[in-house]
Amino acid sequence: MLDEREVEYDSGVDFEQVFKALLGELERGQVRYAVIGGFAVAVLGLVRATVDLDLLVHRDDLERLQTILTSLGYTRFASTENVSRYVHPDASWGSLDILHAFRKPSLEMLERTKVVPVFGGTHTIRVAQPEDAIGLKVQAMANNPLRRTRELADIEALMELHGPQLDWDRIHMYFDLFGLAEEARQLKTRFGHAQ
């Protein structure tokens, strides 16, 4: 976990700076969020060379999020019904991809977030559970076949780390949503009993 070891990032983003400023404001503003994507995968135990900051945010809290991000210098670059992207003029603040939670599975993900210490315990974040991080990677893989190899590598690594403790019924549900039930069965056979 990030609270137990130093992790080097090559993205140029000062994650501690961003978390100190942003996540405290999200808590004060009662924004329902979960860290997802590359940083969540790192927090869940899979250290990668590159990490980005992606958030799942309740759709009813998007206006509050917009106010917070604008106050921190971010500009909304793009927005659709499902996602928003924010950029900052200072590269050390990075860009943020926001997935809008309004469908039942994503709302349930927000209800299941767990609070995890990071940066030696000086900060805490709300992070998606491993099964939900896997579910979002299944969605990314299904939506963009060019990302399949990378997403599947992360899925397999998370399964290897957390295999016996995973809620495999929930994982099967995510794979089933995208017509990948057989793939989920094969993965459970490989990783469901990993130690």
CATH number at residue 48: 3.30.460.40
Note whether 55 and 144 are same-domain residues. Answer: no
Domain that holds residue 141: 129-195
Cα separation, 94 vs 68, whole angstroms: 15
124 or 126, higher pLDDT: 126
Q: Which of 107, 128, 149 is the last residue of a domain?
A: 128
Note whether 101 and 151 are same-domain residues. Answer: no
Q: Are 35 and 53 in contact (CB under 8 A)?
A: yes
Note whether 82 and 117 are same-domain residues. Answer: yes
Of the candidates 80, 78, 59, 10, the one whose C-alpha atom is nearest the C-alpha of residue 38 is: 10
Note whether 61 and 7 are same-domain residues. Answer: yes
Tens-place pLDDT, residues 143-154: 999 999 989 999
Mean pLDDT of 185-194: 86
Note whether 124 and 163 are same-domain residues. Answer: no
Q: Which of 77, 103, 128 is the last residue of a domain?
A: 128
Note whether 114 and 160 are same-domain residues. Answer: no
Mean pLDDT of 66-84: 95
Highest mean pLDDT among 17-31, 69-83, 107-121: 69-83
Note whether 123 and 141 are same-domain residues. Answer: no
Note whether 191 and 103 are same-domain residues. Answer: no
Note whether 58 and 104 are same-domain residues. Answer: yes
Tens-place pLDDT, residues 32-50: 999 998 888 888 887 765 5
Note whether 106 and 188 are same-domain residues. Answer: no
Q: Which helix (H) or strand (E) holds 106?
A: helix 104-111
Q: Are 111 and 70 in contact (CB under 8 A)?
A: no
Q: Are 114 and 122 in contact (CB under 8 A)?
A: no
Note whether 8 and 70 are same-domain residues. Answer: yes
Whether the pLDDT of residue 3 is over 80: the answer is no
Q: Which of 128, 147, 181 is the last residue of a domain?
A: 128
Note whether 83 and 99 are same-domain residues. Answer: yes
Task: Name, in order, each residue with C-beta under 8 angstroms of 174's C-beta and a sequence gap of 6 or more.
Answer: 105, 131, 134, 135, 138, 139, 184
Of the candidates 70, 103, 102, the one whose C-alpha atom is nearest the C-alpha of residue 88 is: 70
Domain total of the chain: 2
Give phi and psi for 130, each to the nearest 5.
-55, -40
